[in-house]
Structures are given as C-alpha cells and as structure tokens.
C-alpha cells in the first residue's frame, strides 16, 4: 500500500486506517456520524492526496481534452474548472474527472480518481496523437479538502488570497501558510462549502500546511475527517462515486449527467449518447429513501411489487443529517418518477422504498 505525506498524522490522531485504491487511508477518527456533522455544521479536513493529477501542455492540449471528454472545455478560461467524464467507445464511462484551465488553450490539469490513475493515463495517451506534453504529477501532489460552512473563514487567516469570495468551480494560485505556488479551488464533493488545496511536498510543505490549518482552526473546533464521512456527505448530495454509481457500463445520460454531455463537439460515444437522449434511456439513476427499516447496500436488487428485478442499488447509507436510510440506484425508466414505490431486496426480505429527488439533504 502507498502512503500519503499525511499518513503519520493520521496514525498519531488514532485514525482507523484501511486500504483504498491502493493507498493506506483514514476511514474515520471519532466516528462517521460525528465527522459528518462536523463538516455539515463547522469545518473538517480531508486528506485526498491519493487522487491523480495530470498536466497537459501545449497548443494541442485543448483539442485533446475536447476529443476525450464529454463537457465543452473550450468554455474554460484561466482560473476556471469543470466537471466532466471520459467516455469509452461503448457508451460507458472510463472515469469522471475535473478539468482545471491553468492557461487558456495551452495548460490544463486533470484530476482523476485514485483507482483509475493508470487506466486514465493509458486511455488519454492513446488519443494523444498530436504529441501534447503530458505529465503525471500524482505522486508529488498533495491534496487537502477543507470543507464546511466555516472552512474559508478559518483558512483566510493563512493567506492574502481572497478565498472567502472564491466562486464555485473557480481556482487561484498563490502563497498559503507560508508555502508558495499553492492552488486553491472551490469544487467540493460534500455540498457543505469550502476549498481544496493542491501543492508539492517540498521542504516540509505538507506538515507545515497541515499544522497551520489545525492551529488556525483550533478555536473553531476544526476536525480531521475520514473517507467514511466523505462518502455519506457526497451521497446526501446525490454526487456520483466512480465504481459505484458510474462505471464502464453506465452512460452519463443514464446517470443524470446529461448536463456535462455537450453535443456541440465530437468525442467518443457521442452518437450513442445522442440516440439515448433522443429516445430516452432504458434505465435511470435515481435517489430513493427507505420506507421500511433497513439499509440498501451496493448491488442489492431493486424489485417491483411482483418481485421482478427492475434495477440495482449503487450506493446506500443511513443519512446522518436526515436520520433515515437513503440510496441511489439504476431502475427501469418507467419506475424512475419521484414518489414511485419500489422494493429493495435486503437478504431474503423485500423492503419498501420510495423514489425521491436529489439532493437528499
């Protein structure tokens, strides 16, 4: 297993550690519910340094991104970011990712999922026919996500950059906690506000920034947060997790990601997605809440009143904010309307659930 530059910090704080995407990562410190509430109501710090980062440089960088992603990166100007995905050739998704425009038409950073770093690199390289300069900077890039309604107030004391007014899906770069060339963005994966900070761990930068954040937030009660609460937070917002809610067999149209699928350019599987959109997909990703007591887990079957399988659960949990069990899953389209009653097979029992609009919280 790989470690991040913060592994020793996690261990010293008594974190419950486990393997995730090949990394030794903190799952929880004081408990998922406690950490979840800390982010929703105050501020918390996630180590997400396991994520992958690729730099694409040169006059052909934008063209390459346009050909391999569904969203329209030509709309990006320097300092703006975009959520997108890499479609395969069969109408599925290689990965979802963030595209950061560092220098318009010339320099971009792609942020990909930790478990897909090698897969994504190979896929993008396959389409790099114009010799775009590519650099995998994943191993030398630290990434902390400081999330919550009080996150930016706490961090503002550590920089002259105006992060209090940093708009959603924009970023800036400068000095933070005495460290130069720190990229600060506002993309979020919790729905609670906050920022992400990217930097290289040179001259002890990782420890310096970690310690500065916790010193600045001590009076406010800032907490370290594990991946367990990150999952419950993103699920309450209806955000997709690759490998659960989207994968190589699901399309962005089916997953409710038509808004990142722009047909004004050419890209892989464009024709498939256009046909799906025109005809309507056969299945859709929906949110649901449990009416009977029980928690829906990944890959549980979803059934109709007669017990016929109509889909499967992709994510499910007991929502700490709502105090009830919620989930996401693909169902045959005729069962996708809000308030439709469905059944989730939990062991040998069919439990009632109801389709609801997302986000849940």
What are the tens digits of pLDDT across the range 182-238? 999 999 999 999 999 999 999 999 999 999 999 999 999 999 999 999 999 999 999
CA atoms in the 13 A half-sphere facing the CB of 334: 3
Same domain for 178 and 224, yes or no, is yes
pLDDT of residue 87: 98
Go through 246-279 and write b for each residue having 16 or more CB atoms within 10 A of its CB, e for each that does not.
Answer: bbeebbbbbbbbbebbbeeeebbbbebbeebeee
Question: For a pLDDT cut of 70, what percent of the chain falls above it?
Answer: 100
Range of the domain at 151: 7-50+139-235
Same domain for 350 and 218, yes or no, is no
In this structure, is residue 346 part of a structural domain?
yes
In this structure, is residue 268 part of a structural domain?
no
**Residue 306's domain is classified under what CATH number?**
2.40.30.110
Provide the number of structural domains found in the chain. Answer: 3
Query: End of a domain among 131, 153, 170?
Result: 131
300-315 average pLDDT score: 97
Same domain for 117 and 221, yes or no, is no
88 pLDDT tier (thresholds 50, 70, 90) = very high
Same domain for 13 and 151, yes or no, is yes
Long-range contacts formed by 346-352: CB under 8 A, 24+ apart: 346/294, 346/295, 346/296, 346/297, 346/300, 349/294, 350/303, 350/307, 351/290, 351/291, 351/292, 351/293, 351/294, 351/296, 352/290, 352/291, 352/292
CA-atom Rg of the chain in angstroms: 21
Query: End of a domain among 131, 155, 187?
Result: 131
1 contact partners, CB below 8 Å, separation of at least 6: 19, 22, 23, 24
132-141 average pLDDT score: 98
In this structure, is residue 176 part of a structural domain?
yes
In this structure, is residue 263 part of a structural domain?
no
Same domain for 196 and 342, yes or no, is no
**Residue 20's domain is classified under what CATH number?**
3.30.1360.120
344-358 average pLDDT score: 97
293 burial (CB, 10 Å; 0-12 / 13-18 / 19+) is: exposed
Same domain for 123 and 171, yes or no, is no
In this structure, is residue 151 part of a structural domain?
yes
Same domain for 167 and 81, yes or no, is no
Same domain for 41 and 166, yes or no, is yes
CA angle 15, 6, 215 (to 5 degrees): 85
279-304 average pLDDT score: 98
Same domain for 44 and 56, yes or no, is no
pLDDT of residue 117: 98
20-36 average pLDDT score: 98
Same domain for 35 and 169, yes or no, is yes
Same domain for 25 and 73, yes or no, is no
pLDDT of residue 195: 98
CA angle 356, 358, 361 (to 5 degrees): 105
Same domain for 208 and 354, yes or no, is no
122-137 average pLDDT score: 97
pLDDT of residue 213: 98
Query: End of a domain among 89, 113, 131?
Result: 131
């Amino acid at each position: 297993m790989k470690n991040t530059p913060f592994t020793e910090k996690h261990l010293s704080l008594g974190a419950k550690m486990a393997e995730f995407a090949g990394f030794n990562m903190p799952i929880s410190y004081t408990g998922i519910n406690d950490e979840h509430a800390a982010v929703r109501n105050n501020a918390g710090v996630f180590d997400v340094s396991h994520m992958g980062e690729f730099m694409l440089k040169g006059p052909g960088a934008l063209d390459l991104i346009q050909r391999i992603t569904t969203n329209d990166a030509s709309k990006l100007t320097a300092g703006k970011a975009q959520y997108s995905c890499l479609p395969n050739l069969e109408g599925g998704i290689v990965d979802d990712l963030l595209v950061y425009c560092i220098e318009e038409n010339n320099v971009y950073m792609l942020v990909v999922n930790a478990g897909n770093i090698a897969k994504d690199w190979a896929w993008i390289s396959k389409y790099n026919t114009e010799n775009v300069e590519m650099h995998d900077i994943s191993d030398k890039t630290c990434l902390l996500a400081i999330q919550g309604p009080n996150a930016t107030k706490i961090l503002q004391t550590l920089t002259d950059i105006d992060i209090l007014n940093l708009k959603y899906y924009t970023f800036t770069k400068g000095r933070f906690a005495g460290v130069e060339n720190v990229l600060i963005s506002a993309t979020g994966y919790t729905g609670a506000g906050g920022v992400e900070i990217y930097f290289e761990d040179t001259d002890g930068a990782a420890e310096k920034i970690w310690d500065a954040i916790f010193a600045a937030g001590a009076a406010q009660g800032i907490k370290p947060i594990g991946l367990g609460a990150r999952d419950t937070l993103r699920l309450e917002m209806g955000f997709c997790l690759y490998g659960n809610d989207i994968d190589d067999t699901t399309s962005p149209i089916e997953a409710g990601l038509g808004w990142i699928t722009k047909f004004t350019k050419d890209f892989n599987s464009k024709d498939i997605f256009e046909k799906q959109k025109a005809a309507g997909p056969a299945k859709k990703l929906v949110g649901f809440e449990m009416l009977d007591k029980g928690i829906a887990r990944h890959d549980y079957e979803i059934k109709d009143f007669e017990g016929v399988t109509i889909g499967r659960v992709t994510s499910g949990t007991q929502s700490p904010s709502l105090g009830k069990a919620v989930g996401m899953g693909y169902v045959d389209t005729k069962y996708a309307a809000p308030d439709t009653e469905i059944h989730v097979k939990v062991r040998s029992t069919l439990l009632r659930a109801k389709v609801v609009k997302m986000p849940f919280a």
